[in-house]
Structure 1
Amino acid sequence: MRALSPLPFSFIPHAPGRHVRLAIGFAAALVITVFAIQQSIAAPRSVTDARGRTVEIASADRIVSIGGAVTEILYALGAGDRVIARDQTSLYPPEALEKPDVGYMRALSAESVLSVKPDLILAVEGSGPKEALDLLLAASVPIVILPEPYSAKGIAEKITMIADVIGEPEKGKVLADGVEARADALAAAIASIPEDKRRRAIFLMSSAGDRLMAAGHHTAADAMLTAAGAVNPFGSVEGYKPASAEAMVAAQPASIVMMKRPGSPDPDPATIFALPSLSATPAAADKSLIVMDGLYLLGFGPRMPDAARDLAAAFYPQLALPAGN
């Protein structure tokens, strides 16, 4: 039998070149990644919210975000494009201001929230009023009530919860770990200050007509003062309470902390320390008034360790502090 002659070289199929193989591999990886992202975002999931409710999440593509820290977290997780509306406390990042405003978080209208056709509502605990929240809870749109913690650990847990809700657990872990790491580094620096050298500082919510409203225990302001290494003389009082002239003199604060309010002028040191309740305090003698952006200072979102660091730097200019984010 006659043997077949080998095919001419020109008829032998060529193996794909290196660049072709790389292109094919890249395309396959891209398809797999896109598919995984779509599956992560679209896959139904259930979460237990701050009220112990089990909430079934079918989609997290169109989110109404209620609460400044909630909105910050969503943007920090790279999900800002999914936020279709936000409340009036959601002032950061600046891009959030471009989204429709559904009202103040404690004075919501259920109709306003639902009018933007969300498929998910994320609302911080304390949102209201009760009547509006009850309507939202009874609506067909899933609503997840989120905790409002005043600690770095609590913030990390809230970040993890939101990340799980929107299908971004890996990004959530990175962000949560970063918050706790920065807070731990600050706490280590603060620990070097002897207890008897801690600065006495108070937070004033308002000073209208010499009626001073000071922050006590179980408030964001008290937690921030503590995180920054200060001693709050009103720490034994619960919540925000009026402080009499006698109580203020007895407190002997070395610094007064206040916040900037959107659309309002910054508190003026001359005006503040001219108040009879404050004029005889060490803070007045040193003109030590520290004014910070309200959401940054009291929002307890991902920037909390940085805000606490900045406040600590104002209290203790000579203290070696960890670098900010």
Structure 2
Amino acid sequence: MTTKIRWSVFLFLFSLTAYAQGTKPERIVSLSGTLTEIICELGLQNQIVGVDVTSTYPAAMAKVPKVGHNRNIGAEAVLALRPTVIMAVRSNGSMDIKPELIQQFKSAGVKTLVFDQETSVAGTKKMINEVAKEFNASAKAAAITRKLDADLAKARKPAKVQKVLFIYARGTGTMMVSGRNTPIEKIVQLAGGQNAFNDFDNFKPLTPEALVVGNPDVILLFTSGLESLGGIDGLLKVQGVAQTNAGKNRHVIEMDGQLLTGFGPRLGLAVQELSRKLNQELTLK
């Protein structure tokens, strides 16, 4: 075989190998429930080999190996899944997982993508497009954002703005209330409500005094949080709750946590549901 022929054969075989590698499915580990939803909406669900515990949607994710909560994930658990891509988010400028963990992944030679998540409609669309670009799926991203807009257009805000107090609860021992600059504040505003507290940022412990000052019209909780308190009756036993307008009228809304605060492809559906429930509470007055 001449040198020219051998070189041609080599180039041919190399091109075949490169093609095969280029089309080989990724092994994705998602460390964000929102990223998981986006990946699945892009049609890449079968390439997900591991997720964090916030990845509760779609239901098929229940069968995917869990690597822990995004704030206490160990590198070993993730790398044991032999990922080719690890994905995480930076929410409103703050890392959801430890920066040193990201460095460990990169040091192990695994492609690690960190996306900035801004909890707004524009921020949601931006992240969907950025994730899609990484997987050459921009056409699918366009369809997802069009549906998001259509879903938002269907939301019907209440005729009267109500003060909404969000309580993060894990039993009576862990109860926090939402202030400014939180995903909760943003979703409440999109649904036509008003956050009950605007004199502090992020979250702070719930106190009876704060409840009296805030005096919400409606109390909002994750479904899991309300369950941890024993339902509405259990919530009303928390000191100060029964004295609020919301408590007196039993105006309590529960929603799935990932749907409510995920700011992913289902954002429009979340706004629809919260708007509908706020309207329902308004008609009960």
Fold shared per TM-score above 0.5: yes
Match of 2:222 among 259, 270, 283: 259
Are residues 208 and 105 of structure 1, via their aligned partners in 2, closer, same or farther at CA, if it must alter by over 3 Å?
same
| Aligned pairs for 1:221-300 within 5 A | 221-261=184-224, 265=228, 267-300=230-263
Query: Residues 216 and 239 of structure 1 are in contact (CA less than 8 Å); yes or no, is this contact kept in structure 2?
Result: yes
The share of aligned pairs that are identical, in percent, is 26
- 151-160 or 97-106, larger mean C-alpha shift: 97-106
TM-score (structure 1 length as normaliser): 0.73
Rate the CA distance shift 1:318–1:66 in 2: closer, same or farther, 3 A: closer
| Structure-2 residue corresponding to 1:4 | none
Any idea what SS the aligned residue of 1:146 has? strand
Superimposed CA distance per residue, residues 102-140 of structure 1 (whole angstroms, 9 cap, x where no aligned partner): 222111111221121111111122332333222113331
CA–CA distance in structure 1, aligned partners of residues 239 and 77 of structure 2: 45
Structure-1 residue corresponding to 2:10: none
Superposed displacement of residue 184, structure 1: 4.5
Question: Would the aligned equivalents of 1:60 and 1:165 in 2 still touch at CA under 8 Å?
Answer: no
Q: Distance in 1 between the 2:35 and 2:269 partners?
A: 17
**Aligned equivalent of 1:176:** 145
Distance 2:117 2:209 in 1: 33
Q: Which amino acid aligns with 2:222?
A: M
Question: How far is the alpha carbon of 1:235 from its aligned partner?
Answer: 2.6
Q: String of CA shifts for 1:114-169, please: whole Å, max 9, x gaps.
A: 12111111112233233322211333111110122211211111110111111111
Picking from 30, 40, 49, the partner of 1:75 is 40
Change (3 A) 1:308 1:166: same
Q: Which residue of 2 aligns with 1:8?
A: none
Aligned match of 2:29: 64
Q: Which residue of 2 aligns with 1:100?
A: 65
Question: Would you say 1:153 and 2:122 are equivalent positions?
Answer: yes
The count of aligned residue pairs is: 260
Bigger Cα displacement from structure 2, 109-118 vs 75-84: 109-118
Q: Within 5 A, what are the aligned runs for 1:162-241?
A: 162-186=131-155, 189-190=156-157, 193=159, 197-206=160-169, 208-209=171-172, 212-241=175-204
Distance apart, 1:231 and its partner CA: 0.9
Inter-partner Cα distance in structure 2 for 1:109 and 1:122: 14
> Given that residues 213 and 243 in structure 1 are in contact (C-alpha distance below 8 angstroms), is that contact kept between their aligned partners in structure 2?
yes
Runs of 4+ with deviation above 3 angstroms = 207-212, 264-267
Structure 1 distance, partners of 2:184, 2:281, is 23
8 Å contact 1:127–1:133 — kept in the other structure? no
CA distance 1:62–1:210, change in 2 (3 Å): closer
Task: Flag the 1:286–1:183 CA change in 2: closer, same or farther, 3 A.
Answer: same
Gaps of 5+ in 1: 1-37, 44-58, 320-325
Name structure 2 gaps, 5 residues minimum: 1-17
Contact 1:217 1:236 in 2 (8 A): yes
Q: Quick one: distance in 2 between partners of 1:167 and 1:84?
A: 19
| Greater RCO structure (CA 8 Å; 6+ sep) | 2
Deviates more, 1:297-306 or 1:156-165: 297-306
Matched, 1:118 2:118: no
Give, in whole Å, the separation in 2 of the partners of 1:129 and 1:246.
35
Secondary structure at the aligned position of 2:253 is classed as strand
Tell me by how many angstroms 1:96 deviates. Answer: 1.4
Shift of 1:318: 9.3
Counterpart code for 1:99: V
Compared with structure 1, are the counterparts of its residues 248 and 222 closer, same or farther at alpha carbon in structure 2 (3 Å cutoff)?
same
Q: Could you say which residue in structure 2 is the equivalent of 1:17?
A: none
Query: Aligned-pair distance for 1:276?
Result: 2.4
Tell me how far apart the structure 2 counterparts of residues 62 and 208 of structure 1 sit (CA, whole Å).
37
Query: Which structure: larger Rg?
Result: 1
Q: Distance in 2 between matches of 1:291 and 1:318?
A: 12
C-alpha deviation, 1:206, in angstroms: 2.0
Give how far 1:288 is off: 0.9
Q: Aligned pair 1:133/2:95, yes or no? A: no
